[in-house]
Amino acid sequence: MHGSLTYGVILAAICLLPDAYAADASSTGRAHFIPDCAGTVAIAHARVVRVNYDGALILADGRSLRLEGIRLPLADKSGRAFAALRAMALADPVNLTIVPPEKDRYGRMRVQAFARQWFQVALLEQGLAQVQISPDRSECAPDLYEAETAARARHAGIWALSAYAVRAPQALKGATGTFRLVEGQVSSIGRADGRTFIDFGDRRSFTAMIGAESRRAFRDFDFDELSGRRIRVRGIVQDYRGRPEIVLSNPAQIEFLDN
């Protein structure tokens, strides 16, 4: 009898833990966990007073924040992404981590945001955002990719829409000017005029290109190991001499799909 009572008390305590943690997060604005990859907290217990339709968070002191590492579906007519972000941002004080460079060209602070949830991961897990790696920042990329992959497997949010489907290199007709995820097998690696070309199929199908200005970012990257590998790249599709192309500026834009 005593053993059964003890087990019941322990089980009840375990069941209450999430509520206790939630109460603590609600009262203090502290996230349960801030990963090391996000950097140190630069602004603690900040109050967001407004969320703009472009996804910018506005603090009480007027500072503007951009969620680093994700891309919101601004063409989402239902407004689900905006509504979810607004609900998180206005509910509790927010802890913000920042790694250099701290601001974008518009003066917005580039942050990872934490309250009851990690904002970026919460949006990705619901299928309400895509991972978008910047040229000069790639903190927590594996965590962000993992959250996006899980949502895509469930066809959650935008991943239930054909417009957001991952494309094959041969299926990019009409995609110029749009942000796309493209996956396929690398057929060859080419180099010319300081640029590196990752070709899929024949060169008329699709190419991922690394410009001379991005060579420093890729200085430790072994391009020769890409040949024959199945990878996924992402970015804005451009037209280059009649064929689609995505410019890569950060190695974290490349995901390996085989082992």
Q: Whole domain around residue 172: which residue ranges?
A: 166-256
Does some domain include residue 18?
A: no
The pLDDT tens digits for 93-139 are 999 999 999 999 999 999 999 999 999 999 999 999 999 999 999 99
Are both 62 and 143 inside the same structural domain? yes
> Whole-model pTM?
0.85
Handedness of CA 68, 70, 71, 76 (dihedral sign): negative
Are both 95 and 152 inside the same structural domain? yes
Does some domain include residue 194?
A: yes
First to last CA, the chain: 53
Confidence of residue 33 (pLDDT cuts 50, 70, 90): confident
Residues 50/58, Cβ–Cβ less than 8 Å: yes
Mean pLDDT in residue range 31-50 = 91
Q: Is the pLDDT of residue 25 over 90?
A: no
Q: What is the pLDDT of residue 30?
A: 46
Tell me how many helices (H) and strands (E) the chain has. Answer: 4, 14
Q: Is the pLDDT of residue 215 over 60?
A: yes
Are both 121 and 178 inside the same structural domain? no
Are both 153 and 226 inside the same structural domain? no
Q: How far is residue 65's CA from residue 113's CA, in Å, rounded to a whole number?
A: 9
Final residue belonging to a domain, choices 159, 181, 216? 159
Residues paired with residue 81 on neighbouring β-strands, in sequence order? none
Q: What is the mean pLDDT of the chain?
A: 87
Burial class (CB in 10 A: 0-12, 13-18, 19+), 68: buried
- Nearest Cα to Cα of residue 223 among 254, 247, 202: 254
The pLDDT tens digits for 170-212 are 999 999 999 999 999 999 999 999 999 999 987 678 999 999 9
Are both 69 and 138 inside the same structural domain? yes
Final residue belonging to a domain, choices 131, 159, 187? 159
Higher pLDDT, 5 or 50: 50
